[in-house]
Structure 1
């Protein structure tokens, strides 16, 4: 049975009236409030602080300056459901088996040489997720927006659910939203309504709290915020960014995040709140572009997996700093546990606690990053793409980044691509043949990782495949 947000918030209000002052709250507990802001389909350069001269994101830009920005921040998968499963569990895709949305047999069968690994569509109950751990350690937990991992976030450790279900995107951002069930309020546009209810939660709840703010924006359908259209109608395009309807969605999202931060500061909660900002995958190529990064959502070139990524925690994390350390959304779970003072000795997480990097105690973190995608994902736009071929955003394969080196391996043809990202961030020059020792080193590491994680490797030939070469 779905529990209404308003009912839960009203119940919590009874326990918070004596503790409504944020300053009193801070004295009563050393535990920080925790907010994860996980935007849907926002690309690496879809925000001003990462260089965009087209989209206007003054509130997000200002927030980024309150902490540390990671220029090499990644999602652990190039599309939404697996990326979100990785964030919530702290585990590689090979552990939970969610590789895409719905079927792994994407695209036409005649174009698929291999039988892809079967996809898992729901996160199994055996996996421990962030809200469960925090709830068991004194946190009140709220999910706001897109969940996409199970049917009901209230069964996964959340006390409050604002509009979350297994839906991957809304049918409409305007009422009636059809597939998004959410408590009505003063706002009508879905992004505004999700934040309106999230702020109600922050306004009425006692600390410590965990808010997973995961708006459906800026995922399709691309539905403009009409009041913002004049702002972009005469705006000059910038490096492939020119979709005015999408720009209003980004702009409106920024306004809502500004409202959340204002609420935290007005209630004197900001200084005792750890905030993580990121996106679940790259921007949707054809709607937005991330130059000089190659390709976009669904691809394992940089445009599909590199994200805007920063952490804020006043007094712990120095403001207005940047780091080139490669990190991934797998690192969010163990980092949160550190700052929440939670010891979970039974959890074996694939991510790393980033606190030493966040606090400036170390400037390096030596470990490889891996991505595994043993399935197919069809092209979004065959006529405009930067993938290996126009039919698929990606074919079955794996990727490893180690230092500045990045290797792609494809199962259909044992194809290998090697790039030095320090010299070629756009992944335009495959240097595998010129660097055989580095190629072999990364390939050995990748194969060892397959064994360690029991990664499924597709080998069965598809009888319906038609070799068109």
Structure 2
């Protein structure tokens, strides 16, 4: 595949034309996936300083859910959930790094990751993906899509995720822990995406692009031309850097969206935008603050979700209904007429009846470092549910014996400052049981009865 051949192919397609049957080909799909970005940190979400003009425009052209969530606020399990449409406890990838083998527990992280024995453990953990049906695999098998992986990628070589093309080799010696050469995307270049799209068009194949740059993810080292926009907006340089990183991500999304427009691909391309997990930057360092990434709070789990498909999806801002990253796979498969795997827990976000009829979404928070290779409960910290206006956080007593159940009226207390569990015992009890019914982690939870309620019934 060369750039000149790809551009020649697009020239032929534009000026000679496709055969009539090709015009009914399935739509292309582009997933824009920001890395470590707060749900409020966009212009269209009302941030007073961060400039995101391209994503603002995308939001205006999309069905946009402002009450979107990811089940887990850590990158690897969150990305695996996006890829499979299943919760972390279902697909088995519940943390970023598996446990070290016996005798290596006290090694520093850098040395541990280079140890041959530990690399074998990492390879065994990656094998979870071999049991899963993924976006690119389903798209290729059912409708002949070609697909490209770029950016963050934890699951070995891109082909193990079902991608036909990719940037990440997964070779440990090349930095294969979470993306290796794929991490150049966005920060250094977008050319691999442009070349891939040209190749797909030349082959008259529908395409899927996984654009997951390490943006605005740390290291927060934005170009000075962008940082200059924020130096005088905050007394905290580290926050200014993070804001500039958000604009940098937006800028790269604009370049990709402009490419679709330039080659007349807008109308037959579904563009989806989401974040892998939230972020609140510390004032004094390039790191996340509490109640942010890795936490159960909205600062870690909440995200905007936008879906653009001109002529098929009516642009609308939805500030009421709940949406989750588990919904994206069934949504896309329904849109293109593909058959979903059995038992997916998500709904089709383009089905207004399904969206109206949903009242609850669920999630789970685990340790960063996996405690057991196959038992997700061993790493579990919290489970949570949002039911309409309420959010309940249920700690795992085996790992957080001192933690309290927390209940927030999330629509009026979005920063989760007031735990009202004690003042609302019935709601607390019912939502606790709903979590236990969703994912029971003990024999007692599996056999306990549903609690009755005369007025409040999830």
TM-score range (shorter-chain normalised) is 0.7 to 0.9
Report deviation, 1:163: 4.3
Query: Pick from 360, 364, 373: which aligns with 1:368?
Result: 360
5 Å-filtered alignment, 1:59-458, equals 59-103=54-98, 121-122=125-126, 123-136=128-141, 137-148=143-154, 150-163=155-168, 165=170, 180-181=180-181, 191-206=186-201, 207-236=205-234, 243-286=239-282, 295-344=291-340, 346-357=341-352, 364-375=356-367, 396-410=381-395, 411=397, 412-413=400-401, 415-451=404-440
Range moving further from structure 2, 259-268 or 407-416: 407-416
Structure 1 vs Structure 2 CA RMSD: 3.7
Which of 11, 19, 37 is 2:13 aligned to?
A: 19
- Per the alignment, do residues 308 and 453 of structure 1 end up closer, same or farther by CA in structure 2, a change over 3 Å counting? farther
- Give the Cα separation in 2 of the matches to 1:15 and 1:68: 32
Are residues 454 and 132 of structure 1, via their aligned partners in 2, closer, same or farther at CA, if it must alter by over 3 Å? farther
**Conservation of the 8 A alpha-carbon contact between 1:29 and 1:208:** no
Cα distance between partner residues in 1 of 2:29 and 2:443:
33
- Does the 8 Å CA contact 1:70/1:309 hold for their aligned counterparts? yes
Stretches of structure 2 lacking an aligned partner (at least 5 in a row): 107-120, 371-378, 447-458
The answer on whether the counterparts of 2:33 and 2:273 sit within 8 Å (CA) in structure 1 is: yes
C-alpha change, 1:164 and 1:260, in structure 2 (3 Å) is farther
Deviations 1:193-227 (A, max 9, x none): 34222122223422411111111111112222133
Check whether the contact 2:407–2:428 (CA below 8 A) recurs between aligned residues: yes
Instruction: State the alpha-carbon separation in 2 of the partners of residues 431 and 66 from structure 1.
Output: 38
Q: Is the 8 A contact 2:277 2:300 kept in 1?
A: yes
Q: Distance in 1 between matches of 2:83 and 2:250?
A: 24
When the two structures are aligned, how many residues end up with a matched partner?
404
SS in 2 for 1:265: helix
Is the contact between residue 36 and residue 217 of structure 2 (CA under 8 Å) also seen in structure 1?
Answer: yes
Partner Cα distance (1:23, 1:59) in 2 = 30
Range 402-411 or range 192-201, more displaced: 192-201
d(CA) in 2 for partners of 1:224, 1:395: 35
SS across alignment from 1:249: helix
- Give the direction of change, closer, same or farther, for the CA distance of 1:30–1:251 in structure 2 (3 Å limit): same
Query: Aligned partners of 1:209, 1:307: CA distance in 2, in Å?
Result: 25
Aligned-partner Cα distance in 1 for 2:136–2:284: 32
Q: CA deviation at 1:328?
A: 0.7
> How has the CA–CA distance of structure 1 residues 23 and 363 changed in structure 2, closer, same or farther, with 3 Å as cutoff?
farther
Contact 2:234/2:240 (<8 A) preserved:
no
CA distance in structure 2 between the partners assigned to 1:44 and 1:131 by the alignment: 27
Q: Deviations over 1:280-319 (max 9, x none)?
A: 0001441699xxx982101011111001221111111222
After TM superposition, the score normalised by the length of structure 2 is 0.78
Q: Structure 1 pair 356/332, CA: closer, same or farther in 2 (3 Å)?
A: same
Contact 1:43 / 1:283 at 8 angstroms: preserved in 2? yes
The structure with the largest helix share of the pair is: 2
Q: 1:419 to 1:170 in 2, by over 3 A?
A: farther
Q: Is residue 147–residue 164 contact of structure 1 (8 Å, CA) maintained in 2? A: no
Residue 374 of structure 2 corresponds to which residue in structure 1?
none
**Inter-partner Cα distance in structure 2 for 1:205 and 1:270:** 15
